[in-house]
Each structure stands twice: as structure tokens, then as C-alpha cells.
Amino acid sequence: MKIGKATVPQSAICAHNPDTIVVRGEDLCQDLIGQLGFGDYFYLLLTGKRPDAPASAVLNATLVAIAEHGLVPSVQAARMTLAAAPDALQGAVAAGILGCGSVILGASETAGRLFDEIHRASEQHGDDLKAAARAVVGEWRARGQAVPGYGHPVHKARDPRVAALFRVSKQAGGGQRYVEIAEAVEQVLPEVIGKDLRLNVSAAIPAVLLGVGFPLNALKGVPMLARCAGLIAHMSEELEQPIGFALSYQATLEQRYTGHVPAGFVPVQKID
């Protein structure tokens, strides 16, 4: 049973014959290998055109900014998976990437959609970004939606990666429209939600990427791609210096048992 309009599979990304591989209209072996860095190649794959200088600088900076952040949940999941199946590197990396959701890594996409909505709403507010931000954030909160990309459990002042990405964007000549929107949201948050939450990297990434024309629907792919690199590094270290079972052991030590205890049974876990 066919679902959807397409009857013939089509793609504009890649074609080949016995002698040549073409990617987005360019000869892979003659024009791309050794000529284009991976970040720029990703942009070409995604958009069908090579990035200009601002887009190249900003995209590569965001990939570096989000690739590694220590033993976050996705990394711990991947390490414990590899400890259990050391022959399945791909499974361990996949375990880490599967945690890319609305809280971890996926917040960049949601923040980008918030900024896009404010950008579109600004026309109704005489291009007053603070007024547009106040209205849109208020609507999100009224629907029970969290405001993504603001606040951090460690970096109570602005996440230091924010200033670094904003600096790269400005120096490279990237558009500052969405940076201004991101800052407008930060300014109105105290009055709209009653909390002084500062920008974190998940808001900075879409702010700078949208300013260089990066596709909104691909924003989640940037932290996903970057985190793959970080996960592979952790998996290499895990094979040489395993801590996957230590992470599991530490969780066992901290576990509190809150269920029923039969008479005479003494659990290993602490009881609350």
C-alpha cells in the first residue's frame, strides 16, 4: 500500500557511474576530497551549496562548541553500553545519540523555532524585538511550554560558550538578527516567567546558525553530528580505560530502595 504522493524515489544529493561519484553536483574525488573540510562538506550535503565564509566559520564553531561536555547522560549511557558489548562500537554510539531529545541536545532546534516565531511576529510589533519576544514567550508559557536554551545547572551566569559563539559570528560577518532575538528573550524572561535565566549554548547555536542561513529543520542535526565525535572519543577511551561498569556500580551505591521489605530481608541498597 502506497502512502504519500511520491511514486518514484528521487534525491538530489548523490549519483554515480563506474568512474565518478557526484555529490551535490560536484565530483567527489576531484572537487571535494582534500579540498573541503568536513564542516563545509556537511553544509554542502545539507543545502546543496558550499558555505560562504561566515557560514563556514559559524557552523564549524558550533560543532566544536557542542561536541564534548563531560560525562553527561548520553555519554554515560554509551560507556555502559560499550562495557556490556565491547564489540559493538556502533551500538554504544547509537545509545548515546538516542538520548538526543527535548532536554539534551534537541533544545537547539526548539530554541531555533522560538526565535523564528519571534522574528515573524516582530512585524506586528513595529520590529520591537523585546515586545515580540514578550508576546511569543508569554504564549509559549500559557500553553505550558518551557523556554528552551536558557538557564544552566552549572553556568549560572551566561554559559561561556555563548560569548565565544557570538564573537565568532560577529567577527565572521554573520547576520546578527537572531542573536538580537536571543538576547531580547533573555531580557524579558524575568518579567514573563519570574526567573532571571541566562543564555546557554543551546540557544546560542541556533542564534548564530540562523544568522548565516542554516536550515531551521536541520538544527537538531548540528548537536547530533557534533556529539557523535565526542562519543567516539569516549568509546575509544572506554576501550583503553574502562569506566562503564564503575558508572553502573556508582549508581548502585547511590540507589535508595523505596519498596516493600519482606520480614528478615536486608537489601544491599540504602532504604529511604
Q: Grid coordinates representing 60? A: 564549524
At 269 the pLDDT is 66
At 95 the pLDDT is 94
At 232 the pLDDT is 97
Task: Report the C-alpha dihedral over residues 180, 182, 184, 185, rounded to 10 degrees.
Answer: 170
Q: How far is CA 103 from CA 95, 112, 121, in A?
A: 16, 14, 25
pLDDT tens by residue, 110-149: 999 999 999 999 999 999 999 999 999 999 999 999 899 9
> Looking at per-residue confidence, does 259 or 226 come out higher?
226
Question: Does the pLDDT value for residue 2 go beyond 90?
Answer: no
Rounded distance, CA 192 to CA 231, Å? 37
Angle between helices 107-121 and 177-193 (to 10 degrees): 90
Nearest in space to 169 (alpha carbons), one of 223, 213, 231: 213
Instruction: Tell me the one-letter amino acid at 191.
Output: E
The count of other CB atoms within 10 Å of the CB of residue 82 is 25
What percentage of the chain carries pLDDT values higher than 70? 99
Weakest-pLDDT range from 4-8, 68-72, 135-139, 186-190: 4-8
Residue 249: pLDDT band (50, 70, 90) is: confident
Question: Does the pLDDT value for residue 34 go beyond 80?
Answer: yes
Q: Grid coordinates representing 197? A: 535565566
> Looking at per-residue confidence, does 266 or 85 come out higher?
85
pLDDT tens by residue, 155-204: 878 899 999 999 999 999 999 999 999 999 999 999 999 999 999 999 99
At 271 the pLDDT is 61
- Longest CA–CA span in the chain (Å) reads 76
Phi/psi at 101 (nearest 5 deg)? -130, -155
270-271 and 14-16: which strand pairing? unpaired
Question: Does the pLDDT value for residue 268 go beyond 80?
Answer: no
Rounded distance, CA 270 to CA 252, Å? 10
Rounded distance, CA 211 to CA 208, Å? 5
> Looking at per-residue confidence, does 146 or 253 come out higher?
146
> Looking at per-residue confidence, does 100 or 115 come out higher?
115
At 20 the pLDDT is 98
Rounded distance, CA 89 to CA 214, Å? 31
